[in-house]
Amino acid sequence: MLSGQVDGLIGFAHDQGPNIANKSGREMRYLRYSDEGLNFFSNGLIANTSTIERSPELARAMVDAAAESFEAAIANPEEAVKAMVGKDPQTPPESVLLQQWQETIPLLTTANTEGQAPGVNAEEDWTNTIYILGDAGLTEVGAEPSKYWDSSFTSSKE
């Protein structure tokens, strides 16, 4: 994309799109899976089962800290972005970080979790994700959401 050798790529539109546009000076357009009704989870907090069993309070604290940090960043995007500037030599310019964050915010909830703390999951969304990934041969078809998601760690910040 940067060198003009290809017309498109698969990636996170909210991250790579603004970054590539900044580096190339070209306008980016997006073909989002969600625009075609294909909605599924792709990122999240992951913990080893033994860690959760040994230290459930640690898992709870991590979920709460993540929700709290997302809420603070949503409430004040400019300050959140300023906190990132200079932390990594590969970090894009502040204006790109702000655009990336603004495009990320709508992805923190679904129709089933609207109005709840960022990162809160709904069983319906997990069922849909498992169906999509199972249909693609990436997970067990028809698996219960509890195989992948522990609902007991929903943020207490909701």
Task: Answer yes or no: are the C-beta atoms of 97 and 91 closer than 8 Å.
Answer: yes
Q: Does residue 15 have a pLDDT over 60? A: yes
pTM: 0.82
- Residue of 66, 68, 88 lying closest to 19 (CA atoms): 88
Q: Is residue 44 part of a domain?
A: yes
Q: Is residue 135 part of a domain?
A: yes
Q: Is residue 71 part of a domain?
A: yes
Task: Answer yes or no: are the C-beta atoms of 134 and 142 closer than 8 Å.
Answer: yes
Q: Is residue 3 part of a domain?
A: no
pLDDT given for residue 44 in this prediction = 87
Q: Is residue 4 part of a domain?
A: no
Q: Is residue 129 part of a domain?
A: yes
Domain range for residue 68? 13-153
Number of compact structural domains in the chain: 1
Mean pLDDT of 76-105: 94
Q: Does residue 94 have a pLDDT over 80? A: yes
Q: Is residue 5 part of a domain?
A: no
In terms of Cβ atoms closer than 10 Å to its own Cβ (0-12, 13-18, 19+), residue 126 is buried
- Residue 54, CA distances (Å) to 11, 18, 50 in order: 36, 41, 6
Q: Does residue 41 have a pLDDT over 70? A: yes
In terms of Cβ atoms closer than 10 Å to its own Cβ (0-12, 13-18, 19+), residue 118 is buried
Q: Is residue 23 part of a domain?
A: yes
Q: Provide the mean pLDDT of the chain.
A: 89
